[in-house]
Amino acid sequence: MTEQTLPHADRRKRQLPQINPVYFVLAALIVAIVVMNPAFAEPTGYMNFLKRAAPLAILAAGQLYVIVSGGFDLSVGSVITLVVVGSSILSNNDPNSTWWVIATMFAIGAGVGLINGLVVCYLKVPSLIATLGMMITLNGVAFMWSGGSPRGYLTDQFRFFGRFNIPDLPLIRILPVALIVLIVLGFALYWLMHRTNLGRMIHAIGDNPRAANLAGVPVNRVRILAFMVSSLSAVAAGILLGGFAGVSTDVGTGYELQAITAAVLGGAQLLGGRGSVPAAIAGALTLNAIFTLLNFLGLPQPIRQVVQGLILIAAVAVAMQRRKHTGR
């Protein structure tokens, strides 16, 4: 009996002061934005912000699965590009194509994640290299498919998810569909990671794969699933991004690093074993808040980049500091 209650009490004691610093950083940035630009506190201000942050937030939450399992997924940016370019070609301006095109894209995403996972698990290629190879391959596929220039448009139906705002609502006035997608997927990813056995097993293999294996965790299967979740989240992010901004052939460039940065801002441990979905989403919002704040400050571009880099390093340093304190 005592053995069961003791660790419980211990955990509660440790959890109480433990609010992830990313939330404070995010709050501070938002206050700064509102001070700079009071219009941000209006619904159109913060709703636009959430709408444009939604793709990265979903991507970061998916990336977190791979990071917690002890890997990296660098292929997500190229999956986004492939989704946008592929959808514009497949849909061929036909509004009725939306659903099967989206289904096809998720199937492609699942396939990419499966291959990533298989290569990492069975060919023993480190995830950094495996997904880097996948990134280069997929960028090549997207280029071959498009010939270097977009070949078609995305239909309004397809763009609904990333572009449309539900108008004339009481109190909040507008509600972007992208935000609903973020809430639904964010909750699903939270539940899967923090409320199911799969989530616990992902943590376990990231912490110590050998111990997890000895404890009966099907390491390879779990790792493959983590890669699939990441690729599927990239498909969702691609659909939102394509919806938000239309077709371009380099839409996904750089998103892989932004997703990893967002997860780390949310306190995820880069070599696995630790991370939180809500904090990764907050990390993505923080990253976007930094961009927005620097837009509002109106600094010249080079200074903006310097400030952006410094804020990033500082924010991650704060996140790491917390780990030292809690000893985890």
Partner 1 sequence: MKKILALALAAGLALTGAAFAQAPNFDDPAEFARQKTLLTTAPMGPADMPWEQYLVDGMKDTASFKKDGPYTVCFSNAGVNNPWRVVGFTDLQQEVALHPEIGELVHVDAEGSDDKQIADIDDLLAGGKCSILIVSPNTTAALTPAVEKACAVLPVIVFDRGVNTDCPVTFVHPVGGYGFGIQGAEFIAANVKKGANVLMLRILPGVDVLETRYSGGKHVLEDAGLNIVGAEFTDGDNAKTKSIVEDYLQRGTIDAVWMDAGATAVAAVEAFQDGGYPIPVFVGEDQQDYLQTWQANGMTAIAPTYPTYQWRTAIIAAVKTLKGEAVPSPEWILPQPAITMETLDKFVSPKMPPLHYAMCGCEAMANYPTAWGGQ
| Near partner 1 in 41-60, by CB under 8 A | 42, 44-45, 48, 52
Residue selected from 21, 22, 30, 40 as contacting partner 1 according to rule CB under 8 A? 40
Residue 274 main-chain phi, psi, to 5 deg: -155, 135
Residue selected from 43, 150, 183, 219 as contacting partner 1 according to rule CB under 8 A? 150
HEC sequence for 253-275: CCHHHHHHHHHHHCCCCCCCCCC
Closest CB 178 distance from partner 1, rounded Å:
12
Based on CB atoms, which residue is closest to partner 1, 78 or 127?
A: 78
Told to check if 292 binds partner 1 by CB under 8 A, we report: yes
Based on CB atoms, which residue is closest to partner 1, 10 or 42?
A: 42
CB 87 within 8 A of CB 242: yes
Told to check if 165 binds partner 1 by CB under 8 A, we report: yes
Residue selected from 151, 200, 274, 322 as contacting partner 1 according to rule CB under 8 A? 151
Contacts of 307 (CB under 8 A, 6+ apart): 294, 299
Told to check if 152 binds partner 1 by CB under 8 A, we report: yes
Token pair listed for 276: 């939180």
186: left (phi over 0), alpha (psi -120 to 50) or beta: alpha
| Near partner 1 in 243-282, by CB under 8 A | 244-251
Q: Where are the beta strands (DSSP E) in 165-251?
A: 165-169, 173-176
Q: What is the amino acid identity at position 234?
A: A
Q: What is the largest CA-CA distance in the chain?
A: 68
Size of the site for partner 1 (CB under 8 A): 32
Based on CB atoms, which residue is closest to partner 1, 241 or 260?
A: 241
Q: Which positions lie near partner 1, rule CB under 8 A?
A: 37, 39-40, 42, 44-45, 48, 52, 147-153, 163, 165, 241, 244-251, 291-292, 295-296, 298, 301
